Structure 1
Amino acid sequence: MQRDRRAPATTALRLRLLAGAAAVALAASGSMACAQTAPAPSRPPAAAGSDGLTPGAVYMEADAATRTGDLITASATGENRVLARFRDVSLRAGNISYDLGLGIATANRQVEFTDSGGSVIFASQLELDSDLKAGVAVDFATRFSNGASLMAATAVRRSERVNELNYAIFTPCPICDAKGDPKEPSISIQAEEVVQNEELRAILYRNAIFRVGGVPVFYLPYFAHPDPTVERASGFLVPIPSFDEGRGLSLEVPYLRVVSASEDWLISPQLNTDVAPLLNLQYRRRFSNGTVSARTGYTYEENFGDFDANGDNVPDIPISAEHRSYLLAWGRFDPNGPWRGGFTAERTSDKTLFDRYDIRDPYQDNGLYYGDRRRLISQIYVERQTLRSYLSIAAFDIQSLRVAVPNVDAPGLNIFESDDSLPFVAPLIEARWEPDGPVLGGRLRLRGTAVSLYRDAYVGGPVLRPEIIPGGSILGLPGVDSRRVSGQMEWRRAMTTRAGVRWEPFFDMRADAYSVSDLPPILGLDDETITRTRATAGVDISYPLIRRLSDSADLILEPMAQISASTNPDLDARIPNEDSQTLELDESSLFRIDRFPGYDLLEGGLRFTAGARATLRWDQGRQISLFVGRSMRDAEEPGFLVPVPVPPIPMPVLPAQLYDPSGLASQTSDWVVQGSFSPSDRIRGWGHATIDSSGEVRRAEVAVDGHWGRRNLATVSYIIDRSNPVAGPMNRNYEFVQLSGQQFVYGNWGVAVTGIADLERDVITRSEVGLLFDDDCFRFELGYRRDNTRVRPTGPSEGVYVRLNLATFGGTGY
């Protein structure tokens, strides 16, 4: 029990009272204690509260106390205050009286009441009823547990669930500065009358005046918002204004309807000046062992954008009003036991609907598999996981919203990636198992996978090998279907010598069986069955070394190497490459047995991989780390070469145009350079690059984060890909710089900037510059933005943006 700091220990009079009739013993300079008569032996004593007092007990500290019947009166002298604790609440005041029989407490002079939830009430006079609620309070002020404050000249408890405050002010902002002195809150609501309705869990205002920095800016005769202690409540959320070249001015007005503690609806119509409204809905439901969420939107409108490529002011395609909608739903279920499952259902009627209506966060990872940026995935899956085993069974379909061939003159005529060229996967099975104990002193792991993929449309490289890509028109060719079953056994044992050298011998054996159908008819092949095996043996070696440079600094050097030998990988040209089209060589993947992420491509032959990591650490976690590594093989592997992509229109293919996207086709792989640094607690960064034998950077990414002052911060990132050496419309090389940051110039005022520059196209794809105000409870941004991404059918979009986030009331987002 913390004592009032202004109450000297030598003058404090401790009083412990147990409710009920009791004998009273008084001592002029001692302490007073009253004990209740012992309860009947047959009734167990009541459990003590969090303060150690039983439900009928009262604890007081005072300079003087008297008792008349059931009425206890305590007082303090000078600036001291009486402290009373009862029923998990505390009360401080210059004078306190408590009626043991009625359970009513009255207090005056610097009253401070703290309830069991942590909310605090201040007043000059206060009366508490038997329910420990403020019956009447003069000069009332309360601070909620979330920091919000409510003040009034008088407060009266009208009924069990209704409190009325007169001439009141509410603010979610701090009312004291860092030194404890009073300050004007950033945002406040002043009203003639405020009613706190506990049944509605809302605060209602009459003649409300909204103030910003103490200046009145808005008036409403009636206003309401949820009680600050309520986590969720039905009502309007903060509106979301925006501007777009195609929609004009837009205002999204979200309304949250809370059905229960585990279920709610969000109704959020987007009202536009130039096009029809878009109705957005979201439903969420939490079960005892799962969650379901569904977002959808609907409008009936023409497709708007730039569809005039020849400049005659006439759209080059028919434009008519249609039903347009989207669905983004997911569910996860995790009952007790090893099994769990879920689903996602993601579809949109238009390839550009999300862009035209600025739908927030449409691409999310909500399932076992992720659809990637600008791809929607609908899936169903189940999983079973124990300490030693894992099994998953899934099926999914993909809708692509990616631009395959951009139209510079008319972005509305962009050619998108065809959904028919993407596979339907059913089923996809993955399984792993490990025995409980070591096998031959090491860890044994068994894996098994099976997958079936079906396509409606033909796709060339990199799915098909150059040897079987037809040399004529691809018009009308069927999509290649494939099925695969794979089994793998891996054994690995870790050993460390006395000198500190770490040895990890390993052995890996794998077998694949493929069934492929609908290969190009010109090959004269029917349904093909292909089997292959591969065995690998090798050892990983590392020798970590550490040297103390000073009492607060050390240097760690870790050279590492891998030697492995495999049988012929048998890269049969008839096997489609579905799961190994992309490979990112980094410090972790460089030393894997299978460096490709999937099963369709695999390495063989004799390979030697070497690398070293150096780490300098000093002063409590500050460090710089650098890794450099490379792999070599006994012979080149032309099976890793793929044809250069061509536009998705019927045209002859030139298989002779090959390149190596993996960096593993030659006898020496790309160099892998990777590092991180955090020279202070205000700066951190990391970088990664793959460099070919000629010293040219194939891929690289660098990012640096920094912050200074209390709230100033910035992030800069750079990414480049030069893996495709052939120019053309499908050249996928890119180079981007991204910057975001905020700098406060005067007090809570500052500027915020965000920008993405496409250095390959020499254009700023996205940019924002805004004026910023931010304090502990209020953030406001007003600025200018421009969107110049190639996917937008309306072309570049620019205009003013407004973002607002208010403590307690929420922000322009959900």
Structure 2
Amino acid sequence: MQADRGPLFRHRLRIRLLTGSVLAAWALSSLALAQTPSRPTSPPAVDLPVDAVYLEADQATRQGNVITATGERDRVYARFQNRSMRGRAVTYDIGQGVGVADGEVELTDPDGNVVHASHLELDSDLKAGVAVDLATRLTNGASLMAATAVRRSENVNELNYALFTPCPVCDAEGHPKEPSLSIQAEKVVQDEALRAVLYRNAVFKIGGVPVFWTPYFAHPDPTVDRASGFLVPITNYDQGRGVSIETPYLRVISPSEDWLISPQFNTGVVPFLNLQWRRRFSNGTILARTGYTYAQNFGDFDLDGDGSAESNVDFGDKTSRSYVLSWGRFDPAGPWRWGFTAERTSDKTLFDRYDVIDPYQDNGLYYGDQRRLISQLYAERQTARSYLSVAAFSFQSLRVARFNDVTPALNVFENDGSLPLVAPLIDGRWEPEQAVLGGRLRLRGSAVSLYRDDYVGSPVLRPQVVPRGATLGLPGVDSRRVTAQIDWRRSLTSAAGIRYEPFIDGRIDVYSVADLPPVLGLADETITRERATIGLDVSYPLIRHLGNGADLIVEPLGQISLSNAPDVDARIPVEDSETLELDESSLFRIDRFPGHDLLEGGFRFTAGVRSTLRWDSNRSASLFVGRSMRDADQIAFGIPIPDAPTKIYDPTGVGSQTSDWVVQASFQPSDRIRGWGHATVDGSGNIRRAETAVDGRWGRRNLATLSYIVDRSNPLTGPNNRNYEFVQLAGQQFVHRNWGVTVAGIADLERNLITRSEVGLLFDDDCFRVEVGYRRDNTRVRPTGPSDGVYVRLNLATFGGSGYGSNGLR
């Protein structure tokens, strides 16, 4: 059969070709052509078979096994193997399975990566190819350009006179611009098997200016989530350690496992090695961090005993110093899941001395607070109607119990033996599927055992059982508790819109307390107490439309409850109810205390009003004011004043007949400004506790956050006073294009001292962010005393970051 050597059609054509043996048999018979309109058409909705090619062109001719398609007005469109290609001229050799495209060529792969070229050749299985004037933009934003490119095999691409940049090469209007960061090289080899890009004679440029040259360089393939190699180093200067450089190296073992080896080299002290291991399993994850050095302590220390500390002194014996921070979470099929944390350090100030990144994290079922580490093992079972948890945990404290006036290196830390070992802690609840008396019924159960090595007085022990005089050598109090609770609640709404919620609550606690102070004549005690409560919640939301899309919502709230007299037995240690956060959410709870050790009873009336103003789509302001009243004072909530142990004060704010006022507000006048505030105010109008914060944004990237917190609950001043008042500021302001300044600081208004401050120069664009600045640390925990230093924070697109923000203010 003689091949047709003339034009097939002079209008736009759609051709579907089958490659391989099917294509050969089909091509020898005839070509099925369908005329289409002159305007470009969309490709078929149905995916093509693996061995098929789809062509769209203004003209197509065939000579032997070679099919040529050209586009005069619109480029030729071809689709094959989930790829699409456009070009002014496309030639396809049926026999050899080779395609050639010329003129404004554009090839898109299944992942959305686009290759541009003036000339492109590909074989049928895409294992080899050639491109001239190559330019490609990957889906992650990186760009790669080369004079010529050759696909040597299925896994190896070779580029000559190439340029790679992870930064945008066009501005917002689409005009070309010099990338902020780029690598130019004589030759670049992309090895997909190694998952790496290799460079020869590489020149690094910042803003188009050459800053570094190396004969060889490599980095992970940009399409790879992670690969072995060095990460961006972390550099800073600290008076205690000197110049410090941390060089993280990531070693990828498998898609589900890797190691991070991060030694810290210091000019003033010996190196410190940080390690991290991560492993993901089919139903869970484990992460383990550790650090180690063999060194003396260092910091400010009074060597000659003159009452003045010399700075940056090595003291003590050389010994092993290390930490472990690990966690694991497993969620197998079914209602059960379990996990653990393991957190310990050999030195109370190790994290501060070596600036360990983010040592205080919340990774388990229960959380340690700032400067307390927690090790735990837990299991949970949860269904739609039930929940059960079983856990055991212990603490290590890094808190300062008494500050030293001469040097922080001699601070006295909280004794770990004063913190309890909790084993076990069991908590469960269950709700029947059907309503009970038209309402929701819930059954709860809880049990806990706590063990202490060392004696702790107030506020764990009530004032009545705190012995007067010396307590050295007294044993720690052990306690066990079992609680059963039932509560029922129903919601009703009247025709006028008033919502009524009657509720009933019943609770039984059984305590077993051992090792109470023997000087009081107390032995091991078993205490049982019961409480029954009946009450009603009432609310009446009112709304008024103010016009122009604004709404005002006012919702009065009220609660009345009656319980039997509370049995706050002085022999029961207060372990889980020491801190009461009195706010809008807790004010109307039956049990406003967290935990179980303290409870309320008697007759109580609580009232408040919540007002919300909303206008436009994202602007609002709200205010809540509320207070609670009871039939009699609860003197059992009081504890001794730290500086006057014979006097009692109420830190809770709910022990008097009238509680503290609760004031809570939030506002968002625009999508660039938002703020909130919370305060408790006593009956005399004095603020006991308050916290507020405002976030603001202006321009495209300028922002600032200002926060304030104060605690005036302790009525007397003195060395043991725990009142505090802080202001914290953090912000960034761009001055010229991508250049700006950053500031951050914490001011201790109680001591009239700026405890930590930072000021830096910032460059930030779509490609990378670098911040260089000065930092001063005046915290009394840091063993080196006040410290000045220089920090460098760097984040690079594609290459990773240096942990920007890891040294942020806390």
**Higher deviation after alignment, 53-62 or 143-152:** 53-62
Aligned partner of 2:486 among 482, 485, 489:
489
CA distance in 2, matches of 1:706, 1:31: 55
Do structure 1's residue 105 and structure 2's residue 102 form an aligned pair?
A: no
Aligned partner of 1:709 among 677, 699, 703:
699
Aligned partner of 1:763 among 753, 756, 761:
753
Matches within 5 A, 1:9-20: 12-19=12-19, 20=23
Do structure 1's residue 695 and structure 2's residue 689 form an aligned pair?
A: no
Aligned partner of 1:58 among 53, 56, 70:
53
**Aligned match of 1:640:** 637
**Aligned match of 1:465:** 462
Matches within 5 A, 1:227-246: 227-246=221-240
**Aligned match of 2:712:** 722
- Per the TM alignment, residue 29 of structure 1 is displaced from its structure 2 partner at its CA by 7.4
CA distance in 1, matches of 2:436, 2:600: 26
- Per the TM alignment, residue 704 of structure 1 is displaced from its structure 2 partner at its CA by 0.6
CA distance in 1, matches of 2:36, 2:576: 84
Aligned partner of 1:507 among 504, 508, 511:
504
Matches within 5 A, 1:395-544: 395-544=392-541
CA distance in 2, matches of 1:13, 1:409: 89
**Higher deviation after alignment, 489-498 or 128-137:** 128-137
**Aligned match of 1:559:** 556
Judge conservation of contact 1:469–1:655 (CA < 8 Å) in 2.
no
CA distance in 1, matches of 2:120, 2:225: 28
Secondary structure of the equivalent of 1:304? strand
CA distance in 2, matches of 1:127, 1:741: 52
Matches within 5 A, 1:372-383: 372-383=369-380
Encode CA deviations 1:277-332: one digit per residue, 9 max, x unaligned.
11110000000001000000000010111121644668999611110000000001
CA distance in 2, matches of 1:545, 1:621: 21
Matches within 5 A, 1:360-379: 360-379=357-376
Secondary structure of the equivalent of 1:67? strand
Encode CA deviations 1:489-520: one digit per residue, 9 max, x unaligned.
00101000000000000000000000001111
- Per the TM alignment, residue 50 of structure 1 is displaced from its structure 2 partner at its CA by 7.8
Matches within 5 A, 1:582-661: 582-645=579-642, 655-661=645-651
Do the aligned partners of residues 638 and 160 (structure 1) sit closer, same or farther apart at CA in structure 2, a change above 3 Å counting? Answer: same
CA distance in 1, matches of 2:786, 2:489: 55
Judge conservation of contact 2:298–2:314 (CA < 8 Å) in 1.
no
Paired amino acid for 2:424: P
**Aligned match of 2:125:** 131
- Per the TM alignment, residue 763 of structure 1 is displaced from its structure 2 partner at its CA by 0.6
CA distance in 1, matches of 2:269, 2:743: 30
**Higher deviation after alignment, 50-59 or 517-526:** 50-59
CA distance in 1, matches of 2:211, 2:71: 45
- Per the normalisation by structure 1, the TM-score is 0.94
**Aligned match of 2:67:** 72
Paired amino acid for 2:355: D
Do the aligned partners of residues 282 and 332 (structure 1) sit closer, same or farther apart at CA in structure 2, a change above 3 Å counting? Answer: same
Secondary structure of the equivalent of 2:792? strand
Paired amino acid for 2:534: A
Judge conservation of contact 1:129–1:135 (CA < 8 Å) in 2.
yes
Aligned partner of 1:281 among 272, 275, 278:
275
Judge conservation of contact 1:98–1:104 (CA < 8 Å) in 2.
yes
**Aligned match of 1:579:** 576
CA distance in 2, matches of 1:778, 1:556: 46
Alignment gaps of 5+ in structure 2: 1-9, 805-810
CA distance in 1, matches of 2:66, 2:607: 85
Judge conservation of contact 1:744–1:750 (CA < 8 Å) in 2.
yes
Secondary structure of the equivalent of 1:355? helix
Do structure 1's residue 806 and structure 2's residue 784 form an aligned pair?
A: no
Paired amino acid for 1:662: T
CA distance in 2, matches of 1:26, 1:430: 73
- Per the TM alignment, residue 86 of structure 1 is displaced from its structure 2 partner at its CA by 1.4
Encode CA deviations 1:651-670: one digit per residue, 9 max, x unaligned.
xxx54222111001110000
**Aligned match of 1:254:** 248
Paired amino acid for 2:301: F
Secondary structure of the equivalent of 1:588? helix
CA distance in 2, matches of 1:476, 1:140: 80
Matches within 5 A, 1:719-758: 719-758=709-748
Do structure 1's residue 96 and structure 2's residue 90 form an aligned pair?
A: yes
- Per the TM alignment, residue 645 of structure 1 is displaced from its structure 2 partner at its CA by 3.4
CA distance in 1, matches of 2:487, 2:33: 83
Aligned partner of 1:191 among 172, 181, 185:
185
Paired amino acid for 1:126: L
Do structure 1's residue 156 and structure 2's residue 156 form an aligned pair?
A: no
Judge conservation of contact 1:49–1:55 (CA < 8 Å) in 2.
no
Encode CA deviations 1:222-267: one digit per residue, 9 max, x unaligned.
1000000000100000010111111111100000000000000000
Aligned partner of 1:296 among 290, 308, 320:
290
- Per the TM alignment, residue 25 of structure 1 is displaced from its structure 2 partner at its CA by 5.2
- Per the TM alignment, residue 477 of structure 1 is displaced from its structure 2 partner at its CA by 1.0
Judge conservation of contact 1:14–1:31 (CA < 8 Å) in 2.
no
Secondary structure of the equivalent of 1:393? strand
Judge conservation of contact 1:767–1:785 (CA < 8 Å) in 2.
yes
- Per the TM alignment, residue 551 of structure 1 is displaced from its structure 2 partner at its CA by 4.2
Encode CA deviations 1:607-636: one digit per residue, 9 max, x unaligned.
000000000011013110000000000000
Do the aligned partners of residues 546 and 313 (structure 1) sit closer, same or farther apart at CA in structure 2, a change above 3 Å counting? Answer: closer
- Per the TM alignment, residue 71 of structure 1 is displaced from its structure 2 partner at its CA by 2.5
CA distance in 1, matches of 2:155, 2:297: 53
Question: Alignment length, in residue pairs?
Answer: 782
Do structure 1's residue 667 and structure 2's residue 624 form an aligned pair?
A: no
Do the aligned partners of residues 26 and 493 (structure 1) sit closer, same or farther apart at CA in structure 2, a change above 3 Å counting? Answer: closer
CA distance in 2, matches of 1:703, 1:486: 39
- Per the TM alignment, residue 405 of structure 1 is displaced from its structure 2 partner at its CA by 1.0
CA distance in 2, matches of 1:634, 1:30: 88
Encode CA deviations 1:547-602: one digit per residue, 9 max, x unaligned.
11114111100001000011011111100000000001111100000000010000
**Aligned match of 1:6:** none
CA distance in 1, matches of 2:98, 2:163: 28
- Per the TM alignment, residue 142 of structure 1 is displaced from its structure 2 partner at its CA by 1.3
- Per the TM alignment, residue 733 of structure 1 is displaced from its structure 2 partner at its CA by 0.6
Paired amino acid for 1:303: N
Paired amino acid for 1:413: L
- Per the TM alignment, residue 417 of structure 1 is displaced from its structure 2 partner at its CA by 0.6
**Aligned match of 2:3:** none
- Per the TM alignment, residue 27 of structure 1 is displaced from its structure 2 partner at its CA by 8.1
Do the aligned partners of residues 255 and 25 (structure 1) sit closer, same or farther apart at CA in structure 2, a change above 3 Å counting? Answer: closer
> Cα RMSD over matched residues?
1.9
- Per the normalisation by structure 2, the TM-score is 0.94
Secondary structure of the equivalent of 2:213? strand
**Aligned match of 1:213:** 207
CA distance in 2, matches of 1:759, 1:789: 13
Encode CA deviations 1:348-381: one digit per residue, 9 max, x unaligned.
0000000000000000001000011000000000
Judge conservation of contact 2:767–2:796 (CA < 8 Å) in 1.
yes
CA distance in 2, matches of 1:108, 1:281: 52
Do the aligned partners of residues 810 and 693 (structure 1) sit closer, same or farther apart at CA in structure 2, a change above 3 Å counting? Answer: same
Secondary structure of the equivalent of 1:123? strand
Paired amino acid for 2:600: E
CA distance in 2, matches of 1:317, 1:353: 14
Do structure 1's residue 167 and structure 2's residue 153 form an aligned pair?
A: no
CA distance in 2, matches of 1:472, 1:62: 99
Do the aligned partners of residues 133 and 709 (structure 1) sit closer, same or farther apart at CA in structure 2, a change above 3 Å counting? Answer: farther
